[in-house]
Amino acid sequence: MTAINLASKLATFTDHWSPRIVAEYNGNDIMVVKVKGEFTWHSHADTDDLFLVLKGSLTIRLRDGDVHLGPGELFVVPKGIEHCPVAEDEVHLLLIEPCGTPNTGDVITAVAKQRI
Amino acid sequence: MTAINLASKLATFTDHWSPRIVAEYNGNDIMVVKVKGEFTWHSHADTDDLFLVLKGSLTIRLRDGDVHLGPGELFVVPKGIEHCPVAEDEVHLLLIEPCGTPNTGDVITAVAKQRI
């Protein structure tokens, strides 16, 4: 059993909005992802959505205002709340979602999460 | 709703081995804690135990070897596995545990977790 280095995991890929699973905690995927640009507005009916910024600046748009996050800052979008992550420049994130949660809130449009 | 700055939360206290709750995710406490020295050997029968190092160097002793963690590194101690965190110098950590989990694995010896 060894430590999981998040920067090393992030260095293994370059694509955006495609989370990689790096660990599991009680049936939740611990993921890293690179994002840039604007995602889609979506919500998760059954789960909160945790974002921790590792590098860069992220805006999470909510219907009643924006949340701005820098490195070392986190935000939990409560379940059922519509949100739209936006990154002007590339941002590196740690995400936590229950295993199998579609990243868009919709299994049709979701990307498959790879384990690395 | 605003971002949670982990360093700012950590700056509000100085004691060791006393986790502060900074957010909640699906019934789990998201906590920050400062640690220094050696904790007690313990295990959690019902939950994995996630450690993410924000600052400093942590060793997690396991019965079959040590795991060394630096900043930006995480480790999930599987449920039921005995472990003993050790920090030669002060370490800042992000922890995730189900709400109400005693930090020592034992409600008698556990410290109360404060929300900040």
Taking CB atoms and an 8 Å limit, are A76 and B24 in contact across chains?
Answer: yes
Taking CB atoms and an 8 Å limit, are A1 and B62 in contact across chains?
Answer: yes
User: What pLDDT, in 10s, does the model give residues A12-68?
Assistant: 999 999 999 999 999 999 999 999 999 999 999 999 999 999 999 999 999 999 999
CB A94 within 8 A of CB A35: no
Work out the pLDDT band at A108, boundaries 50, 70, 90: low
> Looking at CA atoms only, how far is residue A109 from chain B in angstroms?
24
**In the CATH scheme, what architecture does the domain A6-115 have?**
Sandwich (2.60)
Using the predicted structure, report yes or no on whether residue B107 has a pLDDT greater than 70.
no
Work out the pLDDT band at A85, boundaries 50, 70, 90: very high
DSSP letter, residue A34: E
Taking CB atoms and an 8 Å limit, are B75 and A26 in contact across chains?
Answer: no
B54: left (phi over 0), alpha (psi -120 to 50) or beta: alpha
Ranges of each domain in chain A: 6-115
Using the predicted structure, report yes or no on whether residue A107 has a pLDDT greater than 90.
no
Out of B23, B50, B67, the one facing A74 most closely (by C-beta) is: B23
- Whole-angstrom Cα distance, residue A59 to residue A65? 10
Taking CB atoms and an 8 Å limit, are B24 and A69 in contact across chains?
Answer: no
